[in-house]
Chain A
């Protein structure tokens, strides 16, 4: 009981809790966006590309300290999105375009991780941090910046949500009504939100937990039959419960979140008739 009380009183636990809460709110909304826009492959590959973007960010920061690693990660991910859209516009299938950029990112992440290991005494721990996160070691300014970032993401989604749903519902109709340029802009925006929110969530909880946060709800049939607010509330509840259980059981948050997600999302989905 003391341990649970500590989670809400101890500054370290509390920062972890707030970090997970922020990551879960955006992760939940984005996972529903991924479901509705059927961009699961992009989401998974974004979480692979984030290794390249984050490692590049830390590496550049070693040599140019005033360039903030996260800002560089956002720029690198934006470039990946632009390249995916460019390839799609050249006539490549969406998944082929994503896969092509994903293997470019794989090469970059390998080189950047190697560079970090060579040039930084804490290089390996940075890479470990990118993968598994460290929600308990978030600083107050990190949380404040995260809060402002989430407001921007959610604001953009709130403003464009209905149009995104209409585009996903009937792309042919949307393309006729809005024209090819506007349709391309909306598609690019969807890709950008998925890819850039991967930077945000990875920063808070690590790439592994981000996989679970993004993908598990997006492939869960019963979540599509309830409202966006209710589905997000369930995702946030599962995520925060995972953190509390992780503290109690002295286990990593990502692992507990994965197990809980399998129990709550995957098993009921498998038991449900298609």
Chain B
């Protein structure tokens, strides 16, 4: 059988990544067909952000196969930047910069990576930011800040969206809205997504693929297949007792 990498948004096999001398990802294998969504979960320091950064070509792998739409992220950086849009964690953002919402959303154009102004307009409409364009970022609530960063990711005509904790620092109603927004994009068959998130309760009705990671892949499959007490216990030290989830203690790894 001939493997056609282009059919996959992401194809990994036995992917291993070191940060310095430390093994952070150990023989990670999974595929993401296009279009579909993968939610990456795991305890703090499990290597989730390292996995994203490797997929983006920002970190070099030590061994294994990694293809993004058939391209090697380390060698084909220009193609990867055109095809993959990235939203880092909001905790990386220094908020007190005098940048207006419209300037942040238009970042791909200011940085001359994308030249499609219609896509910026569309991103603003999808995320419902029309009334906030002239506001400074630091004036917005947590939910709207996340929306701005999502809009910036959508302002490029990418085929794969990579989101690192898009639901952090937002309240429950804003989380609901953001999840609906992301899955609406998927339902339109426009994009594939990889989302790192600790909170998947609002995603369950979409039954996405889930990858449980703690340096190695601990479980991988549809949500209804992998969200089982024995898997959660393996990943987080969680178990159920008389139908209630109890916390057994979480093993933290040193890496993100």
Binding site for B on A (CB under 8 A): 36, 38, 162-163, 165-166, 168-179, 224, 227-228
Distance of A179 Cα from B86 Cα, bound (Å): 13
Shortest CB–CB separation between residue A7 and chain B, in angstroms? 34
A169 and B111 form a contact (CB under 8 A): no
Shortest CB–CB separation between residue A172 and chain B, in angstroms? 4
B56 and A169 form a contact (CB under 8 A): no
A169 with B97, Cβ < 8 A, contacts A162-B110, A174-B111 known: yes
Knowing that A169-B99, A169-B137, A173-B92 touch, tell me 15 more A-B residue pairs with CB under 8 angstroms.
A36-B97, A162-B103, A165-B99, A166-B99, A168-B94, A169-B94, A170-B93, A172-B88, A172-B89, A175-B58, A176-B58, A176-B86, A177-B108, A177-B113, A227-B98
Shortest CB–CB separation between residue B3 and chain A, in angstroms? 27
Hey, which chain A residues are within 8 Å of B99, CB to CB?
165-166, 169
**B-side interface residues, number (CB < 8 Å):** 24
B169 close to chain A: CB less than 8 A: no
Distance of A261 Cα from B90 Cα, bound (Å): 34
B 82-120 binary contact with A (CB < 8 Å = 1; else 0): 000011110011101111000110011011010000000
B110 and A163 form a contact (CB under 8 A): yes
A163 and B58 form a contact (CB under 8 A): no
Hey, which chain B residues are within 8 Å of A169, CB to CB?
93-94, 97, 99, 104, 137
A173 and B110 form a contact (CB under 8 A): no
B111 and A163 form a contact (CB under 8 A): yes
B 144-163 binary contact with A (CB < 8 Å = 1; else 0): 00000000100000000000
Shortest CB–CB separation between residue A76 and chain B, in angstroms? 31
B162: nearest chain-A partner, CB-CB: A176
A178 and B97 form a contact (CB under 8 A): no
A178 and B111 form a contact (CB under 8 A): yes
Hey, which chain B residues are within 8 Å of A228, CB to CB?
98
Hey, which chain B residues are within 8 Å of A168, CB to CB?
94, 97
Number of CB contacts from chain A to chain B under 8 A: 59
A166 and B77 form a contact (CB under 8 A): no
B216 close to chain A: CB less than 8 A: no
What are 14 of the A-B contact pairs (CB < 8 Å)? A162-B110, A165-B97, A166-B103, A168-B97, A170-B93, A172-B89, A173-B86, A173-B107, A173-B152, A174-B111, A176-B56, A177-B86, A177-B113, A227-B98
A172 and B111 form a contact (CB under 8 A): no
A178: nearest chain-B partner, CB-CB: B111
Partner of B88, one of A36, A38, A163, A170: A170
A224 with B98, Cβ < 8 A, contacts A173-B86, A175-B58, A176-B56 known: yes
B81 close to chain A: CB less than 8 A: yes
Distance of A38 Cα from B92 Cα, bound (Å): 14
Partner of B92, one of A166, A171, A227: A171
B94 and A176 form a contact (CB under 8 A): no
B98 and A166 form a contact (CB under 8 A): no
Hey, which chain B residues are within 8 Å of A177, CB to CB?
81, 86, 107-108, 111, 113
A172 with B98, Cβ < 8 A, contacts A166-B111, A177-B107, A177-B108 known: no
B97: nearest chain-A partner, CB-CB: A169
B111: nearest chain-A partner, CB-CB: A177
Distance of A172 Cα from B92 Cα, bound (Å): 7
A32: nearest chain-B partner, CB-CB: B98
Distance of A14 Cα from B92 Cα, bound (Å): 47
Hey, which chain B residues are within 8 Å of A36, CB to CB?
97-98
Hey, which chain A residues are within 8 Å of B87, CB to CB?
173
B103: nearest chain-A partner, CB-CB: A162
Distance of A165 Cα from B103 Cα, bound (Å): 10
